[in-house]
Amino acid sequence: MSFASVLVLNGPNLNLLGTREPAIYGSETLDDVAKLCRDAGERLGLSVDFCQSNAEHQLIDWLHAARTKVDGIVINPAAYTHTSVAIADALSAIGKPVVEVHISNVHRREAFRHHSYVSAVADAIIVGCGTQGYVFALERMATILKNRAAK
């Protein structure tokens, strides 16, 4: 039984996980990450919807649709993290709790990865924990949603 629903959204190039720069992103595929999230969701009492797109407008459309459907958003915006005011605006507009995840430690990488437009609208940020970061993000989201429900 789930007490809340969470959309886990993944941005561009994350469909290539497993083959894409494995020294940085590891060898697990996006399907492996989806399973990790569904298993964590079951354990935490969250129903998890898991999506990926390479298109900014698709991510934004899913966020708009989530406004009336889900309780929280876990998002790895990938490269759009560093470029997209539009995704940050969509997250603000829908007014749901947000946990931002990055598989790699973006702060140990190129300077252009150090700034995130999404972080300013996120309740929590998890970086550099590999794909386990998604599990941490869902754990944090479960706590945020339980705390809100208790108020």
Residues that bind ligand DQA (CB under 6 A): 13, 76, 78-79, 81, 102-104, 106, 113
Which amino acid appears at position 104 of this protein? Answer: S
82 labelled binding-site residue: yes
49 labelled binding-site residue: no
10 labelled binding-site residue: no
Q: Which of 80, 102, 117, 134 is catalytic?
A: 102
CA distance 67 to 65: 5
- Which position has the token pair 């108020």? 151
Residue 110: count of CB within 10 angstroms of its CB: 8
For residue 102, the minimal CB distance to ligand DQA (Å) is 4
Q: Which CB, 38 or 113, lies closer to ligand DQA?
A: 113
Q: Which CB, 94 or 127, lies closer to ligand DQA?
A: 127
114 is catalytic: no
Q: Which CB, 28 or 47, lies closer to ligand DQA?
A: 28
Helices (H) and strands (E) in the chain, counts: 5, 5
Which amino acid appears at position 29 of this protein? Answer: T
Residue number of the CB atom closest to ligand DQA: 78
Q: Using N-to-C axis directions, what is the helix angle for 132-150 and 30-44, rounded to 10°?
A: 30
Taking CA atoms, 148 is separated from 6, 55, 73, 98, in Å, by 14, 32, 15, 13
113 labelled binding-site residue: yes
Question: For residue 137, what is the DSSP state?
Answer: H
For residue 57, the minimal CB distance to ligand DQA (Å) is 18
134 is catalytic: no
The residues annotated as belonging to the active site are 25, 102
Binding residue ranges: 76, 82, 89, 103-104, 113
